[in-house]
Amino acid sequence: MADGASVAGRQSAVQEKRIEGLTMLIFSGDLDKALSAFIVANGAAAMDIPVTLFFTFWGVNIMRREGQVQLLEKKTFMESMFGWMMPKGPNKLVLSNMNMGGMGTLMLKKEMAKKNVYSLPKLIEEAREQGVRLVICTMTMDIMGIKKEELMPGVEFGGVTTFVSTANEGNMTLFI
């Protein structure tokens, strides 16, 4: 019985370790969805749950640096077009809903500040401090012509296998 119990103990420890983890596939580049993603990520990280955010498609825009960046390699015309048309970082994102030419987005930001809710740039900073893994989809970078030097520091780069294997080690997955 002692043996059995110790097996159970080890087993449950293994299991506990194995099935705890939150992995999000951040597809959207909308401000409201990004806020939700980071609030949940930071909440889970504060509960000591391993969290990975995998940014793909429009979601990659959340992690772009602001301002001009000196590129190591010239972009094609199409790649430059994508770059110009898409929002450059967290301060440029707008709401998925009720944006109303920016007025809705402004209203929300004001209310958030007034009610002491962190802004998106602050939430990203907090996520990094709490050890949330931030992984950028290299296929998206390739298709849209986004270069590593255009992205915020401290991010990792990975493909679909990175996403799936991380998700597979956890117990919670969200597509945002």
Among 71, 102, 154, 165, binds its own copies (CB under 8 A): 165
Nearer to its own copies, 91 or 97 (CB): 97
Quickly list DSSP for 22-79: EEEEE----HHHHHHHHHHHHHHHHTT--EEEEE-GGGGGGGBPSS----SSPPPHHH
Closest approach, Cβ 108 to its own copies, in A, equals 7
Closest approach, Cβ 153 to its own copies, in A, equals 26
Binding of residue 129 to its own copies (CB under 8 A): no
Nearer to its own copies, 46 or 153 (CB): 46
With beta carbons less than 8 A apart as the criterion, state whether 73 and 11 touch.
no
- Supply the angle between the helices 31-46 and 103-114 in degrees, to the nearest 10: 30
| Contact letters for its own copies, residues 1-30 (x by CB under 8 A) | x-xxxxxx-xxx-xx---xx-x-xx-x-x-
